[in-house]
Amino acid sequence: LAKTTQPISMDSYEGQEVNITCSHNNIATNDYITWYQQFPSQGPRFIIQGYKTKVKNEVASLFIPADRKSSTLSLPRVSLSDTAVYYCLVGGGNAGNMLTFGGGTRLMVKP
């Protein structure tokens, strides 16, 4: 199973761009990289998924270098409501693959 490593916590201020990096050195060829957001007392919520290069949606961007051994989630102009735990997952390329969550990054957005 591909293991992921993320910073335990990060602080930011409202209106700033936040970049959270995840390392996954043993990512497999058919693995995708996925990021989730979790608020207290709720289940995780899918944010974005990518395989290589850059992916962007209405809430975030995901940057993946050519070697795919790391990825960076970018949240533009964060607000207080972005305070949450963010998880990076690697896997899911084939039916039958297990998806494992790491410890996540606790993002605190301050006013």
Partner 1 sequence: NAGVTQTPKFQVLKTGQSMTLQCAQDMNHEYMSWYRQDPGMGLRLIHYSVGAGITDQGEVPNGYNVSRSTTEDFPLRLLSAAPSQTSVYFCASSYSDRLGEQYFGPGTRLTVT
Q: Which is nearer to partner 1, 69 or 77 (CB)?
A: 69
Question: What mask, x for binding partner 1 by CB under 8 A, covers residues 35 to 74?
Answer: ------xxxxxx--x-------------------------
Least gap, CB of 57 to partner 1 (angstroms): 12
Q: How many other CB atoms are there within 10 angstroms of residue 25's CB atom?
A: 12
Q: How far is the CB of 88 from partner 1 (least distance, A)?
A: 10
56 Cβ neighbours under 8 A, 6+ residues apart: 62
d(CA 109, CA 100): 26
